[in-house]
Structure formats: structure tokens, C-alpha cells
A and B are shown apart, each in its own frame.
Chain A
């Protein structure tokens, strides 16, 4: 199996529900706790496994389609992944479309974060491709987070170990949960159903089908890590037909209107 997420940028409204659902589940989950530093003071910050980047792009040009590469001049996804917001384009014309981009571990097939781990704490599971950090083996050296181009790993300051998305491994296999709830918390919660979880190895799965139908693409494939998660670009809505204009003179129009008999 190759488990991962499809994220629909056409319908993500940037509400952050996925981020807090993730935080909520995982702080008491297998990867927890996810601590928060100075939660009521200046510049509060804690460990999160999923964060939303927001930026403006030009309209109506869509996101780059498959094959054009993501690092095109439209917007710099690398800057996005590493710097977060404000990865803006040049000021040549107004960039008036806001795009919200949830970012979490891409569950890469060739994950450098795993390769660089000196203790063997970081690993990619054979059974389903989930990249995990064995919390007992991690020594908090941070090498993996430097290796990750997506900014998906965060060192927990209080615990001194690395935290990352587990695809809610502690939900998806839990037979005690109703089957419909054996999904990552972010997917369960997403109010616009913009997150879909499934097996990319199965061509009949919803995620595989969505990638085909909607031209799904990975982030920064040129780096060669083979990210599993895929993003669906915003749709381009075709024009709506217009009613024909009559431009009848007002007087004849009024006459016509006055003579219309409509039964109540």
C-alpha cells in the first residue's frame, strides 16, 4: 500500500480545521504530546503536524498544470514550503487570487528525512509507506527537518524529539472505531471535504481516481523525493451563457407588459 492524501486547492478555503483537528487528535496520540511554548504570552508557538500556507497568485491563470513543473514563475513553491506566507510574485499585475495550501508530511517514497536519521528513529513503513518517527529512538538532532524541503517536521521543544504527520496511524487501523471514522483526523474534519485519504497503489481508490480526473500533482517533484501526497489545482470555470438583450423601447415594452394576462 501507498497511503497518502489528496488535497483539493479548488475548494480549500483556508479555515485551518485540518490543522487543529490534527493537533487535537495527535496531542493525545501515538506521536503526542504536541507541546506549546508560551501559549498565553508573546509569539506563542508549538508543535504542529499540519500548517496552512496562504498566498496570492494572479488570476485567472490557474496553477501550473502537470508537466510544467511546480517551480515555475507563477509562484515559488519552494519558497512557500520554506518561508510560508508572502511567497509572492512580481508586481507586474495584481495577484488577486488567494490560494490556501495545507502542508504536512508528503510521505515521500524516497524520503531524505529517513536517510539522514543517525539513530534509525525515522523510517518509512514497508506495509503502507507511512513515514514515522520512533519517539523512543529519536534524539532530537534535527537533521531530518533540515532534510525535508516541505517543512513538515517540527522538533518538540518540551519533549526534545521530532514530530510529524503519522496519517493518524493510530486511527486508521483502530478496529474499535466505526469504519467510516478510520481516517486521519484532518480528513474527517475538513468542512469542504478537500482532503481525501487512501491508497495510491490501488488504481480504483478515490485518491487515485481524483489524481487522474483532476490532474493532481505533487509539490516540487523536481527535487526527486517522490512525494505521495497530491494536490488538485483550482478548476477553471467555463463562462456562463448570457440571456439575449432585447433593447425594446420603453413605451412598447410597457404596452406589452400591460396587456399580459396571467391567472393568479
Chain B
């Protein structure tokens, strides 16, 4: 602003201030931030304008970092449950780090030397899974995973088994070019700022934004069209649109022939071994029918014109059909007609048809081209990228249903039919994705004392032989991931660990080690029972889970149920790595990673968890952490990060590698790598060349770079899997037709036979199949408010002023019918239990759906909150109503309430009934005992008056008062 600034005082003493860059950690977006400090306090946190993720903007949470840092709930020292007191009673003694690490080392050494699987190590909002997973494999336990099993595994798995990338973390809509954007389900929590930035771009360009969601809030509020779909029926909606596209011949057949497996021939011999598998030659190559030579030929050949449709007889006499012929038969039937879908989804048939025809118009009549010479997978020069500018995004709303994997595949199929995969205007991959389908990494299975695993605990099965089961078919992992319960459980089933361990099914464990996971509260299904399970004892008086170790930065409900508490730092007090090896911050046109650096000095006896892990690795003699002479190989976390190489030249950080820091993506360790990152505002961005930015599944220019960087193993074309032969192998196992491991249990056979369809399909969510829908007529789902995206900050003194109580939002007309007044209290009951909640009327919610903000409720006394805080008196958790098990079914064993393919927790499948509470029945129910304050915890202030310096008042002169009067 041009202004006579001489008249203004100096508001800020910049000489007393310092500015540093780092990375936010208040949610999973990992925005770049610029932090101004004054003394050892934060003056201001702002978005870093140069950062690839947030481009200068910041969300409500990021802007409230000061209150996170000044929370009275920060842990202050290691704590040990006081001997002789009960777990959950909240009696702790402050101990030293030496004591804490001695206790832990002794215990873990014994486990490692005897039976490593007795350690279960599960992490919550972990952003360093490459490190924690490596740690677990060095320890030698397969019982490791992060929280993906109850978060997003359906999205990641469906993407990685279909297109090679996925929604959210491994892919993004092409915000700059898309003309039609469809957002499926609640997405406010994944992602935050990048989607907001993207939506603005769409609106400015006049692109259409369609929101498919039972609830209209948040991002949906600004959509051009709202489709009020019934929860859990999105798969039907997507496939009805596929039906319309097929019916009117509106699909990208060139894309399907060149980039997908849809011309491949499928053996059609129902009831026989080999049915549904690809026809292959003697070398194992999948075959297609070449319309030029009129022969069966290797589908990978360049010089062919494969038939997309057709029925043939294989040389050995077996009937075969192309994938596309199967697909047309499957979706052109009435089952997926819009009129039928309308009944399931609650979306009018004409709307379903119109949406499909609109998208087809944009894809095929409004396509865009970008002139750019690129080399395709076969080495052929191409002169342009053709864009079909329709894009989509989906996340939790699809993921958290027991049909989420197949639903997500259905949405990907819709994208594939429209040819919108990694093209301009379509759904773009983010490096290091796309990967070959699925990534070539199998879950580890074999364990031995004092021996690292031969691979990472998690991986991508492609056939029943890859399962983690013993010779009798019993699960090897404590969470039963990769068992017949959930064969493709790529992220594990964290939500089953406590329940399984307490039952000793499949076995008992000794130590449960958690990081940043609130399993005694909002991160568990069935919360009240989970708390009881954590207290359950064996006949000999020992806890069924004998030892619980927890690292967290704050006094969460889980801290209260821990035996040994290892206090973590806040995100402003630590070094961290957001690595290309696990969950990088890449953008579609750039490979990116980033770091955190300490902004503030630590004023408590706390250590960052990653530092503790490196320390423990040395104490436990992990081979990868020791030199030949038995000395520790790495001094600390920073030393480990820059010097550890997963493969020659490939390490945790991709930027400024090589001795002189002049190599990117691949190169020798650079001793000054941290300094280079700090110099460069704590992130690294490797821009892809224009010829490497699209069609990367079949783009040699890109694949050669990806191979060099270690992102893919070869430059072979990444063949998009419309048809999943992997799923069919599991289905054959369920049918008793597989030449390999097969389940013996009837329930498993049924689950495999019904759900492992090699083509996406719709089925009613599993819980709903086992309850009386007449008794529980409402779907109940949750969202996170944008200002509390991710839940470990709800104690934030500023954010809780925006919302400290959640309500049950119900359709106004339904409330009228049921006689439920606005702001009245109701009982909400499921097959698993009941709660009391306060209702608010709303019009923008589908009639059969009720919803609420998740994880607002807190146990009294936790998180530094006073016992009368709204979060514990009036707010409620829906979690109590959700069982971790499916409702029982006669003659079937108890089984996880999860997607039968991936093990994704099905917490959006919940059905409830709602009845008005009696007069006088107010307040949330159930209520819980007050969590005791920790021994060294400061009392929470009655008032905050935060400022890093005394304000410099802008005085009004008396002259101004006299001459201008009231003006």
C-alpha cells in the first residue's frame, strides 16, 4: 500500500524476530509453513508461498498452531504406570529417559530373542512409515502397520490394483485443465488446502463441480450440483453410469485397447480350474486375438490390433472371451440400469443418465490437446497429449464401507471408460506413482528370533500363495491381515489388534507399542468395550495385553491406558522427513519431498519418536544399525536419514544427493543434505519435463526417469487392470477351484466367491445384510469439520471455540415425521449399543441419513480439558455404536466388520434407529470417569491472553478528535 507511513509507529520489532521454514504436521496435507518467532515463542505461522502443496495458503488448523504449542496437555516427561495401580486408573510416576529406555529395551530384547511376533507395533497418524516399517522388519515382527486399515486402504488398494495410482495421496485431479469434476463422498479430510486451491481454479474457469454425497456441507456447499446419494450405494451409481456409457456407445475404445487389459482373453469354463483366468501361452504371456493376423498373440506386442470384443475358441478348445465382452454383458443388464440403480441410490434415473451423458460430452466433445513430443512405451514418438477433461476425487465416504474396494474400482472403471487416466484434464498420478500393478512387494511372513524379516511387513499379494497364513490356513498376523478374513489387507487392520490380542486369537502378544494412535477413544470402533478390553486380565492376574507402550505428544485417552508413556515433541520441535519412500508430498508435475526442522527449543523432558526409534535400534542390535565391529552405525535420526540407503543411491531424501549435493533423486549420501533442505525452505521439488507429465503408465520418457529414481522396477508399460486376475485367483480359491491354498471355512469360501469379482460390482454393505433394516432405518455417518481435519487437535483452545459439541444432523422432514424437535435429545441405537445425542435439523441431508462431526467428544479430563468441558458433557462419539465385528450369523464364526477384500474398517456401514429421549434426559450418554491429571501436568488456565510482545497501539491524536469529531 502507498501511504504516508511516517505517521505510523513501528508495530513489530523485526530485529527481535526470527523466521524459519518447516512443514506443518497438524494433518496429513503437510503444507509448507513460514514461522516467525520472537524469543522462544511463535509470533506467526503462515503458508509458504513457494511451497508446492499449499502455495502460501494455510487452513484454520495450521493457523492455530500457537494453541497446539501452548496446550496444557503436552506430555512433559516419560511416565510409568504406578506399580500396584490398575491400568486406566491414571496413576503415573514420572521417570527418566534412561529408566524408560532400559525398561523397554529389556522387554523388547527378550521378545526379539524368543518370539518376535509378541511385539505388535502399530502407528496412528504416522508420516514416516518407511522408518517405522523398516524398524519393525529389523526387529523381526510382522505385526506392524499404520492406521490405513481404518482410514483409506480401500482407496489405495483399489487404485494400486487398477490404475497404478489412486485418489488423494497418489493422484490428483488436473485442476488446471479439468472441465468437469465429480467429488464422491466426504472428502474434506483428504485433502485440505490442495483441494480448496483446486476448487477455486475450477470455479474461476467455469468448470462444473458435481458433489455426490448424502450431506451437503463443506466443499459440497459450493458444488454446482448436489447428488444426495444414499450411503454405501456409490458403486451402484458409478456402474449405472457405466451402463449408460455402454448403452450409447460412449467409451474411449482407443484408450481401452492401448492402455488397459480389456482386450485380453478370459477363459470361460465355469466350475473348472482356470476359469476366469487369462488365456496364456506356454511362456505365461496373456493373449489377445489380433484382428490383423487373425491369431492369438501376446497382448504386450506392439504391432497388433487386438479385438476389444469377441468370443473365441482357444487352441486347446477352451472357450474364451475378451474382458470387454464380459464387461458389456455384466453392466448392460437391467441390474445396473439407471431405473434400478435409482431405487438403491435414491438418485433419480434421469439424473444418473444425464450425469453420464454430460461427462461423455466433456470427455469426447470438449477434449483438449497439449502439443508436446513424447515417447510412448513402445518407443514410438507421439506429437501431443490428448486430454479428456473429466476428473474425480473420492476418499473416506467411499473408503469406510465394506464394499469400498469394489466401489472405488467402479469409480476407476468409469474414469477408464472415459479415458481420463493421467491425461490432461483427467486424474493425474503423483510421483513416485504410477507403479506397476500391483507394486512388486509381497508381505513378509517368516519370522525367527533375533532375525530381521526378509522384506517389509506389508506388501501386495497377487495370489493365495502370498497370504500370511500357516499350513492350516490360520492367520499369522495379530490383526489377521492377509488371511482369508482380508486377503488384500495392504495396510493391516489396526482396528482389530486390541480385540484379537485380548481374545488370544490367533495368539496372545506381550507388548503393544503405539505411536500417535488414540485407540482408547476415537480411533477405535466400539470405544467403551475397547476400554474394557484394555483392562481385561487373565486368570493369573496379568493383563491380557501385558504391556502397552505409547508415544504421543499430548495427554490423550490412550495415554491413560498405557503402561509406559514416551513423550513425543510437537511438530515445531523436531527434525522429520516426508519421504519419497513412503508418503511424499509430490504434485502431479513434480516429485517432491520435505523435512521439518526445530523452530522452538524444547522446554520439557521429551524426545521425538523417530529419535527414540533410532536409539532403540542400536540398543536392540538391529543389524542394519550396526557396523561390523558392533558399534552403532548412525549417531542419531539426522545421521540415519542422510546416510541410510535402501538401494544404492536411494535414500529417505531425494534432493541434493551426491557428495557435493549436485545430484537429485539418486546419488550417494550427502553429508550436508539437511542444510541444503533448510536453505531451500525445507522442501525439494523436482519438476518433470513437459514430455513426462502425462500418460505416465505408457510414457517411456517418464518411466526411464522413474526407473532411475527407484520408483518403478522396469520401463515396461503399466497395464491398467480393468479386469483383475488377482481377484479371480482368490475367487477360485473360494470356489474350491484353485491349484494352491484354499480356505476350509464356509464363511471364507462365501466371502471369496461373492466379493472377489474380477470386475467391479455393487453389493449391499455387509452389516446391512445382517441386520433388520426395518428396525434400524437410518444410515449414520461422520465427517470431520475442516477446522479439525484429523482429530488429535480438538483440544486446541481456538478451534474448540468454533465447535466444542457435535450434533446429530437429521433431515428436517424426517424429524417432523418422527416428532423430533430441533436441538432435542434423542437415543441413537444400533445392533451394538446406544448413545444419547442432541439433534439439529438440516435440509441438506439425504432423508435416510443422519450424520455428525467425528471425534469432537473427549473423555473428561483428557487433553487438558476441564471436567465440565462441552466435549465430555454434551458431545458424543458414534464409535460406541459401531462394532469391530459383524453382527453374528448362525453357524459362522465372529468376523471383522471390514471390507472382505482389504480389511478396511467399515465404520460408515452403521445403521441406527432414533427415538426421542424422555423429558429430562439431556446430555451425552454414556459418560466416563474423569481422567486424572498427570503428575507433572500444569493446570489448564482459566484465561489465555497470548501475545509475543506488548501491543503497539495506533493512537488517535487529539488533533484528529478535535478537527474531525466523530469521523
> Which residues of chain A have a CB within 8 Å of any CB of chain B?
1, 3, 10-17, 19-21, 23-25, 27-46, 48, 56, 59, 91, 94-100, 114-115, 117, 120-121, 123-124, 126-128, 132, 134-137, 158-159, 166, 169-170, 172-176, 180-182, 185, 188-194, 199, 234-235, 237, 240-248, 250, 253-254, 256-258, 260-264
Q: Using Cβ atoms and an 8 Å threshold, which residues of chain A touch B686?
A: none
> Given that A123-B967, A189-B57 are contacting pairs, would A27 and B203 also be in contact in the complex, using a CB cutoff of 8 Å?
no
B218, B249, B328 — most chain A CB neighbours (10 Å): B249
Q: Per a CB cutoff under 8 Å, which of A35, A173, A254 touches B328?
A: A254
B943 contacts which of A35, A94, A136, A166 (Cβ < 8 Å)? A35
Interface residues of B in 258-310 (CB under 8 A from A): 258, 291-292, 301-310
Interchain CA distance A124-B63 in the complex, whole Å: 29
Tell yes or no: B629 within 8 A of A by CB.
no
Q: Chain A residues near B59: list those with CB within 8 A.
A: 15, 17, 191
Chain B nearest CB: distance from A175 CB in Å? 7
Q: For the complex, what is the distance from the CA of A236 to the CA of B479, rounded to whole Å?
A: 50
> With A56-B844, A243-B360 as given contacts, are A17 and B57 in contact (CB-CB < 8 Å)?
yes
Verify A20–B60 contact, CB threshold 8 A.
Answer: yes
Residue pair B64, A20 in contact (C-beta under 8 Å): yes
Is B850 located at the chain interface by the 8 A CB criterion? Answer: no
With A123-B961, A194-B200 already in contact, the answer to whether A21 and B292 are too (CB < 8 A) is no
List the B side residues contacting A96 at CB < 8 Å. Answer: 216, 226, 228, 843-844
Q: Complex formed: what's the CA distance from A127 to B948 in Å?
A: 29
Nearest CB of A to B824, in Å: 15
- With A39-B797, A190-B57, A191-B58 given, is the CB distance from A169 to B787 under 8 Å? no
Give the docked Cα–Cα distance between A27 and B63 (Å).
12
**Chain B interfacial positions (CB closer than 8 Å to A):** 1, 3-5, 7-8, 11-12, 14, 38, 43-47, 49, 54, 56-64, 66-67, 72, 180, 192-193, 196-197, 199-200, 203, 206, 208-209, 216-222, 224-226, 228, 247-250, 253-254, 257-258, 291-292, 301-310, 324, 328, 332, 354, 357-358, 360-362, 364-365, 786-787, 795, 797-802, 804, 812-813, 842-844, 864-866, 868-870, 873, 940-949, 951-956, 958, 960-961, 964, 966-967
Which residue on chain A has the smallest CB distance to residue B366?
A: A241
Question: Can you sample 25 A-B contacts with CB below 8 Å?
Answer: A17-B63, A27-B946, A28-B44, A29-B11, A39-B800, A40-B866, A40-B941, A41-B865, A41-B869, A97-B844, A98-B216, A98-B220, A132-B956, A134-B953, A173-B8, A189-B47, A191-B59, A193-B57, A240-B208, A240-B362, A256-B249, A262-B258, A263-B305, A264-B303, A264-B304
Q: State the Cβ distance, A258 to closest chain B Cβ, in Å.
A: 5
Inter-subunit contact A264/B302 (CB<8 Å)? yes
Contact B844–A28 (Cβ < 8 Å): no
Q: Give Cα A218–Cα B396 distance, bound, in whole angstroms.
A: 38
When distances are taken between beta carbons in the complex, the residues of chain A under 8 Å from B309 are 254, 257-258, 260
Q: How many angstroms from the CA of A184 to the CA of B221 in the assembled complex?
A: 25
Kindly state the separation between the CA atoms of A166 and B940 in the bound complex, as whole angstroms.
Answer: 30
Cβ B292 vs Cβ A241 within 8 A: no
**B357 contacts which of A136, A169, A242 (Cβ < 8 Å)?**
A242
Which A residues touch B954, using CB under 8 A? 30, 132, 134, 166, 169-170
Given contacts A10-B203, A24-B44, A243-B364, contact A136 B797 (CB under 8 A): no
With a cutoff of 8 Å between Cβ atoms, the chain A residues found around residue B306 in the complex are: 262, 264
Contacting pair A30 B952 (CB below 8 A): yes
Least CB separation from A182: chain B residue: B1
Q: Quick check: A42 and B257 within 8 Å, CB to CB?
A: no
Q: With CB as the reference atom, state the residue of chain A lying closest to B197.
A: A191
Within the assembled complex, what's the spacing in Å between the Cα atoms of A34 and B302? 68
Instruction: Compute how far the CA of A170 lies from the CA of B247 in the bound complex, rounded to whole angstroms.
Output: 63
- For residue B51, give the distance in angstroms from its CB to the closest CB of chain A: 13
Smallest CB-CB separation from B328: which chain A residue?
A: A254
Select B953's contact among A30, A174, A244, beta carbons within 8 Å: A30
Known A-B contacts A13-B786, A100-B221, A261-B291; the reply to A240 vs B308 at CB < 8 A is no
Task: Please measure, in the bound complex, the distance between the C-alpha atom of A254 and the C-alpha atom of B942, giving whole angstroms.
Answer: 74
B823 nearest CB neighbor, chain A only: A86
- Beyond A20-B63, A241-B365, whether A260 also contacts B308 by CB under 8 A is yes
Q: Which of B7, B56, B219, B365 interacts with A188 by CB under 8 Å?
A: B56
One of B58, B944, B956 near A39 (C-beta < 8 A): B944
Contact B249 A246 (CB under 8 A): yes
Further contacts, 16 of them, CB under 8 A, given A128-B3, A245-B357, A257-B309: A10-B222, A14-B217, A14-B786, A17-B60, A23-B63, A33-B945, A36-B946, A38-B942, A43-B804, A46-B801, A59-B226, A94-B812, A170-B11, A191-B58, A243-B361, A262-B254
Whole-angstrom CA separation of A180 from B47 in the bound complex: 13
In-complex Cβ contact of B956 among A40, A115, A137, A248 (8 A)? A137
A3 contact set on B, CB distance < 8 A: 1
Report yes or no: B798 in contact with A20, Cβ–Cβ below 8 A: yes
**Distance of A33 Cα from B948 Cα, bound (Å):** 9
Of all chain A residues, the one with the shortest Cβ separation from B958 is: A120
User: B196 is contacted by which of A15, A121, A240 (Cβ under 8 Å)?
Assistant: A15
Q: CB-CB < 8 A to A176: which residues of B?
A: 12, 14
Task: Find out whether the CB atom of B795 lies under 8 angstroms from the CB atom of A40.
Answer: yes
Task: Tell me, rounded to whole Å, the shortest Cβ–Cβ distance linking B501 to chain A.
Answer: 34
B45 to chain A: which residues have CB within 8 Å? 24
Q: How far is the CB of A74 from chain B (nearest CB, A)?
A: 14
Q: Which residues of B contact A169 (CB under 8 A)?
A: 8, 954
Residues of B within 8 A of A97 (CB): 216, 221, 226, 844
Minimum C-beta distance from A198 to chain B (A): 9
Q: Which residues of B contact A39 (CB under 8 A)?
A: 67, 797, 800-801, 940-941, 943-944
Q: Which residue of A lies closest to B840 (CB)?
A: A86
B44 touches A40 (CB 8 A): no
Nearest-Cβ distance from residue B499 to partner chain A, whole angstroms: 33
Residue of A nearest to B209 (CB): A237
B60, B216, B365: most-surrounded residue (chain A CB, <10 A):
B60
With both chains docked as a complex, state the minimum distance between the C-beta of B531 and any C-beta of chain A, in angstroms.
23
**A194 contacts which chain B residues (CB < 8 A)?**
200
CB atoms of B956 and A134 under 8 A apart: yes
- Residues on B with C-beta less than 8 A from A25 are 44
* A24-B63, A28-B946, A245-B248 known; A191 vs B193 contact (CB < 8 Å): yes
Give the shortest distance, in Å, between B220 (CB) and chain A (any CB): 8
Contacts of A254 in B (CB 8 A): 309, 328
B380 CB, min distance to chain A CBs, angstroms: 10
Assess the B947–A241 pair: CB atoms within 8 A: no
Cross-chain contact B943 with A23 (CB below 8 angstroms): no
Bound complex: CA of A136 vs CA of B957, how far in Å? 11
**In the assembled complex, how far is the CB of residue B794 from the closest CB belonging to chain A, in whole angstroms?**
12
A55 to nearest B CB, angstroms?
A: 11
Report Cα–Cα, A248/B43, bound state, in Å.
67
Check if A29 sits within 8 Å of B250, measured CB to CB: no
Residues in A neighbouring B250, C-beta threshold 8 A: 243
Within 8 Å CB of B180, what residues of A?
Answer: 240
Q: Could you tell me the distance in whole angstroms from the C-beta of A263 to the nearest C-beta in chain B?
A: 5
Report A-chain residues with C-beta under 8 Å of the C-beta of B44.
Answer: 24-25, 28, 185
B940 to chain A, nearest CB (A): 4
Chain A residues with CB under 8 Å of B57's CB are 17, 188-191, 193
Q: For B944, what are the chain A residues with a Cβ–Cβ distance below 8 Å?
A: 35-36, 39, 46
Complex CA distance for A179 and B365, rounded to whole angstroms = 44
Taking a contact as CB atoms under 8 Å apart, the answer to whether B64 and A24 are in contact is yes
A43-B870, A120-B961 in contact; A173/B3 too (CB < 8 A)? yes
**A244 partner residues in chain B, CB cutoff 8 A:** 248
Residues of B within 8 A of A241 (CB): 358, 361, 365
Contact present for A189 and B46 (CB under 8 Å): yes
B947/A19 in contact, CB under 8 A: no
Q: Report whether B63 and A21 are in contact in the complex, using a CB–CB cutoff of 8 Å.
A: yes
Q: Which residue of A lies closest to B378 (CB)?
A: A264
Bound-state Cα–Cα, A17 to B795, Å: 17
CB <8 Å contact, A240 and B12: no
Question: Is the pair A56, B842 in contact by a Cβ cutoff of 8 Å?
Answer: yes
Report the minimal beta-carbon distance from A205 to chain B, rounded to whole angstroms. 11
Smallest CB–CB gap between A254 and chain B, Å? 6
